[in-house]
């Protein structure tokens, strides 16, 4: 017992100092009107949270986060499962991967080695509304009007979603590939002998045996969807524009804290984001709980 406690003292102490203590401080700051390091905070109770109820920009940001929270995990996991199954169980009668699957895994994983800021700058160029834009150049050459992927309020957030899915899919392709590779080949071979095709193999063998991995991926992607600060701040005009059409909660926290010096108000937003994240993780784990299958 003493041996275990001796190993735990240092990491637990560091966790309390650098994780728990800042959270507690943020909760206390949310109850003040603190405006910066040199200003003395004044206790205002729940006033900041009352203001949040009337803040239309903040609730627009909440709506964007919720949209991403629903679509990002679904699209990413479905696409990643599809490609992982093809790469690992798509050849030799469903008992093995397709030719060149290792190369494809590297290609899919490549976006993961790029910093999110690099990806944002890269797709700024891809979405440019002129002949320099990778997507608009062919349209202009054919005589069509260019599409304002980041300047049109109706499609800007969908463009952000597309980039997020593109960036995340590769990691889950590799993750699910590792999970599928650990499934005994005999299961796929037996299913193939019984005449099962690709869809039955996927839904009756692959999906149930990967459920724990999918559950973890769902929670992780949901947490990403509740953040997405960096890509929105770097990639979009006016850092969340145009007209707040792509802003998210994390962007509004940063804006209020470091542009408007409303640290108390920004901390109140952070508290709301904290409870959103914890609530989502608990709900997702609860709803996706099922009996574990061992093999």
H or E element, residue 105: helix 101-109
Q: Is pLDDT above 50 for 37? A: yes
DSSP secondary structure of 100-135: THHHHHHHHHGGGGS-HHHHHHHHHHHT-SSTTSTT
Q: Which of 100-109, 143-152, 246-255 has the least mean pLDDT?
A: 100-109
Question: Which pLDDT does position 93 carry in this prediction?
Answer: 42
Residue 80 to residue 193: CA distance in whole angstroms: 27
Cis peptide before 259 (omega within 30 of 0): no
DSSP secondary structure of 71-99: HHHHHHHHHHHHHHHHHHHSBGGGTBPPT
Residue 30 to residue 130: CA distance in whole angstroms: 44
Q: Phi then psi for 96, rounded to 5 degrees?
A: -160, 180
pTM metric for this prediction: 0.85
Residue 292 to residue 151: CA distance in whole angstroms: 47
Q: Is pLDDT above 50 for 94? A: no
Following CA atoms 116, 120, 123, 128 in sequence, which dihedral angle do they give, to the nearest 10 degrees? 180
User: Domain ranges in the chain?
Assistant: 55-287
CATH: 3.90.180.10, 1.10.3720.10, 2.60.15.10, 3.90.550.10. Which one for 55-287? Answer: 1.10.3720.10
CB 30 within 8 A of CB 264: yes
Q: Which two tokens stand for residue 121?
A: 């700058």
Q: Which residues, in sequence order, are CB contacts of 245 under 8 Å at separation 6+?
A: 153, 154, 156, 157
Residue 241 to residue 232: CA distance in whole angstroms: 9
Burial of residue 226 (CB within 10 Å: 0-12, 13-18, 19+) is: buried
* Four-residue CA torsion sign, 269, 274, 280, 282: negative
Q: Is pLDDT above 50 for 91? A: no
H or E element, residue 7: helix 2-15
Question: Which pLDDT does position 227 carry in this prediction?
Answer: 85
Question: Which pLDDT does position 250 carry in this prediction?
Answer: 93
Residue 292 to residue 268: CA distance in whole angstroms: 39
Q: Is pLDDT above 50 for 92? A: no
């Amino acid at each position: 017992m003493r041996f275990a406690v001796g190993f735990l003292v240092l990491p637990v102490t560091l966790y309390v100092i650098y994780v728990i203590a800042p959270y507690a401080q943020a909760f206390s700051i949310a109850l003040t009107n603190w405006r910066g390091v040199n200003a003395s905070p004044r206790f205002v109770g729940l006033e900041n949270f009352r203001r949040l109820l009337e803040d239309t920009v903040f609730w627009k940001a909440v709506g964007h986060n919720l949209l991403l929270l629903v679509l990002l995990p679904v699209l990413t996991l479905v696409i990643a499962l599809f490609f992982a199954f093809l790469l690992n169980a798509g050849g030799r009668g469903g008992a093995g991967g397709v030719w060149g699957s290792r190369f494809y895994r590297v290609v899919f994983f490549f976006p993961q080695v790029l910093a999110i800021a690099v990806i944002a700058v890269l797709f700024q160029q891809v979405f440019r509304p002129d002949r320099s834009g990778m997507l608009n150049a062919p349209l202009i050459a054919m005589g069509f009007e260019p599409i304002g992927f980041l300047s049109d309020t109706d499609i800007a957030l969908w463009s952000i979603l597309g980039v997020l899915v593109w960036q995340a899919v590769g990691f889950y392709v590799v993750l699910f590939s590792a999970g599928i590779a650990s499934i005994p080949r005999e299961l796929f071979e037996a299913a193939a002998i019984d005449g099962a095709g690709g869809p039955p193999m996927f839904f009756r063998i692959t999906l149930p045996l990967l459920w724990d991995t999918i559950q973890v991926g769902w929670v992780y992607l949901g947490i990403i969807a509740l953040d997405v600060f960096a890509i929105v701040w770097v990639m979009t005009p006016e850092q969340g524009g145009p007209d707040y059409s792509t802003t998210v909660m994390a962007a509004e926290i940063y804006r209020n804290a470091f542009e408007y010096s409303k640290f108390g108000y920004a901390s109140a937003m952070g508290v709301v984001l904290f409870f959103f994240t914890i609530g989502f993780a608990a709900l997702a784990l609860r709803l996706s709980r099922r009996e574990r299958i061992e093999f």
